[in-house]
């Protein structure tokens, strides 16, 4: 057995074990932590498949920010899952049959790594051959994501936008902007405050690097947006929600949620105005490559803006529901 398949099998076994543990556990804190572990393991698997961009997103979104958001949810709900009251025979049969059907479906799929698989012969060769001349970017993933498949990414950003708006509507964050609450400073947590102060700067800097270096290496708007939001969330966690709201008001964040999608769509409208197809950036610059570069930069920035604003406003909405913890309770 080669080292590659050994790593694959180890990671897959751990994925399976984690999934099983998540199913069996009733303590929801442990379930949240295990789902974070699950995401990190899948990120490792994706790195091993050479899909670093996807792995980056999985690590940042799955293992990072969604864990924080799920913990914030747990603070509002119960720490334990209710034990099922009815027999679970029927769901088990349904899941088993569906699983068998899916496994049967995979029998028709090409073998792993098969060079004659349709996925390697459809549009992928065109992307690989033409990216250098048409887009002029070393990272083909970014070129595919933002330019060749710009419509799909616009759809994804709109999905995030819609989901964020949905969460805000459900939690009623648009009304509640409490004022006059005692500002939480976490006076007793010297270590946390000092380390947070040290780390926030580098985290923001790294987010900007990921955002604007996405054309050359792994990264882009989705990952950068999440990392950027993480810096704000860590600030809100350590220095209190009120202080974070003072730095970045909730209304401003909600505005940015819309601005990102607007920027993305606006770039498409501008390319309309120049007499080209929607989201064809070639007309934006002096040459085709320059236009593509500018378009991708703007579009990725829109993605990052919306993603980070959605994450921060979701966190504000969740954390705002909790009564502030008084200093004596720490």
Partner 1 sequence: MSAMIIDAFSWALLMAGSLLMVVGALGLIRMPDFYTRMHAAGITDTLGADLILLGLMVQAGFSLVTVKLLLIGAFLFFTSPTSTHAIANAALTAGLKPQVGGADAEDGAAEKEDE
- Restricted to residues 262-301, the positions that interact with partner 1 (CB under 8 A) are none
State yes or no: residue 95 binds partner 1 (CB under 8 A): no
State yes or no: residue 192 binds partner 1 (CB under 8 A): yes
Give how many residues touch partner 1 by CB under 8 A.
9
Find out whether 183 and 20 touch, Cβ atoms under 8 Å. Answer: no
**Nearest CB to partner 1, comparing residues 154 and 224:** 224
Contact stretch for partner 1 (CB under 8 A) within 24-32, 185-193, 221-229, 308-316: 185-193
**Nearest CB to partner 1, comparing residues 166 and 202:** 202
Residues 200-239, mask of contacts with partner 1 (x by CB under 8 A): --x-------------------------------------
Q: Which one of residues 101, 170, 198, 273 is an interface residue with partner 1 (CB under 8 A)?
A: 198
**Nearest CB to partner 1, comparing residues 75 and 109:** 75
**Residue 197 Cβ vs partner 1, minimum distance, rounded to whole Å:** 11
**Nearest CB to partner 1, comparing residues 210 and 317:** 210
Contact stretch for partner 1 (CB under 8 A) within 172-180, 190-198, 261-269, 276-284: 190-198
Single out the residue of 160, 147, 159, 127 nearest to residue 267, CA to CA. Answer: 147
Q: Which one of residues 195, 247, 255, 269 is an interface residue with partner 1 (CB under 8 A)?
A: 195
State yes or no: residue 199 binds partner 1 (CB under 8 A): yes
Contact stretch for partner 1 (CB under 8 A) within 70-78, 83-91, 173-181, 189-197: 189-197
**Nearest CB to partner 1, comparing residues 128 and 195:** 195
Give the C-alpha separation, 326 to 183, whole Å.
10
Contact stretch for partner 1 (CB under 8 A) within 52-60, 165-173, 195-203, 241-249: 195-203
State yes or no: residue 330 binds partner 1 (CB under 8 A): yes
Q: Which one of residues 28, 185, 189, 200 is an interface residue with partner 1 (CB under 8 A)?
A: 189
The tokens describing 276, both together, are 């080209």
Q: What is the largest CA-CA distance in the chain?
A: 67
**Nearest CB to partner 1, comparing residues 108 and 328:** 328
Q: Which residues contribute to the site for partner 1 (CB under 8 A)?
A: 189, 191-192, 195, 198-199, 202, 329-330
């Amino acid at each position: 057995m080669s080292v590659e398949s050994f790593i694959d099998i180890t990671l897959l076994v751990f994925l399976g074990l984690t999934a099983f543990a998540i199913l069996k556990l009733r303590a929801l804190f442990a379930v949240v932590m295990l789902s974070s572990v699950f995401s990190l393991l899948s990120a490792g698997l994706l790195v091993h498949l050479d899909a670093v961009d996807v792995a980056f997103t999985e690590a940042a979104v799955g293992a990072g920010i969604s864990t924080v958001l799920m913990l914030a949810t747990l603070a509002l709900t119960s720490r334990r899952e209710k034990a099922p009251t009815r027999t679970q025979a029927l769901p088990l049969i349904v899941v088993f049959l569906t699983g068998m059907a899916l496994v049967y479906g995979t029998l028709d799929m090409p073998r792993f790594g098969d060079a004659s698989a349709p996925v390697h012969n459809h549009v992928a060769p065109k992307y690989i051959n033409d990216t250098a001349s048409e887009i002029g970017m070393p990272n083909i993933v970014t070129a595919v994501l933002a330019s060749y498949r710009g419509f799909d990414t616009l759809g994804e950003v709109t999905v995030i936008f819609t989901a964020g708006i949905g969460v805000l509507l459900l939690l009623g964050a648009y009304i509640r902007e409490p004022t006059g609450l005692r500002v939480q400073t976490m006076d007793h947590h010297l270590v946390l405050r000092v380390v947070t102060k040290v780390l926030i700067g580098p985290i923001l800097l790294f987010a900007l690097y990921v955002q604007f270096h996405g054309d050359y290496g792994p990264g882009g708007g989705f990952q950068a947006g999440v990392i950027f939001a993480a810096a704000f969330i860590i600030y809100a966690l350590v220095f209190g929600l009120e202080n974070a709201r003072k730095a970045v008001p909730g209304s401003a964040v909600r505005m940015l949620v819309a601005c990102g999608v607007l920027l993305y769509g606006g770039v498409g409208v501008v390319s309309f105005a120049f007499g080209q197809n929607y989201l064809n950036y070639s007309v934006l610059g002096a040459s085709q490559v320059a236009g593509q570069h500018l378009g991708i930069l703007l579009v990725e920035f829109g993605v990052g803006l919306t993603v980070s604003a959605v994450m921060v406003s979701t966190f504000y909405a969740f954390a705002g529901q909790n009564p502030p913890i008084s200093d004596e309770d720490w």
